[in-house]
């Protein structure tokens, strides 16, 4: 994978966009958990006394962001691997 390869720039740009997508999804999950007063660990209730500890299923919107984040994590590794195998 050298910079002389004509497919490197689109690959790099796509990788940056996918990485930013992961950051947005992670922050969206955290914000929806905060808005719906959900905590992942019992220790997190120190910051929000009204939060309920939710281990798996929670608010529908939080679950949706969580599934999208997991899906993106799975796909970015496949995307990176496909580029390595194609060169």
- Distance from C-alpha of 48 to C-alpha of 39, rounded to nearest angstrom: 8
Average pLDDT for residues 10-22, to the nearest whole number?
Answer: 89
Q: Looking at the DSSP assignment, which residues form a beta bridge with residue 39?
A: 53
pLDDT score at 31? 83
pLDDT score at 23? 92
Whole-model pTM: value is 0.70
Helix (H) or strand (E) holding 75: helix 60-86
- Domain borders along the chain are 37-87
**Cα–Cα distances in angstroms (integers) from residue 82 to residues 9, 11, 54, in the given order:** 15, 11, 36
Split at pLDDT 50, 70, 90, the class of 20 is very high
Helix (H) or strand (E) holding 38: strand 38-39
Helix (H) or strand (E) holding 53: strand 52-53
Q: What is the pLDDT of residues 22-72, one digit of tens each?
A: 999 888 888 887 777 777 767 666 666 677 676 666 667 777 877 888 888
């Amino acid at each position: 994978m050298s910079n002389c390869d004509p497919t490197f720039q689109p690959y790099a740009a796509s990788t940056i966009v996918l990485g930013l997508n992961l950051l947005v999804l992670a922050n969206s999950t955290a914000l929806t958990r905060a808005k719906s007063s959900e905590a992942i660990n019992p220790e997190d209730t120190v910051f929000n006394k009204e939060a309920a500890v939710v281990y798996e299923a929670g608010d529908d919107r939080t679950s949706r962001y969580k599934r999208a984040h997991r899906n993106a994590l799975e796909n970015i590794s496949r995307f990176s691997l496909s580029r390595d195998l194609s060169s």
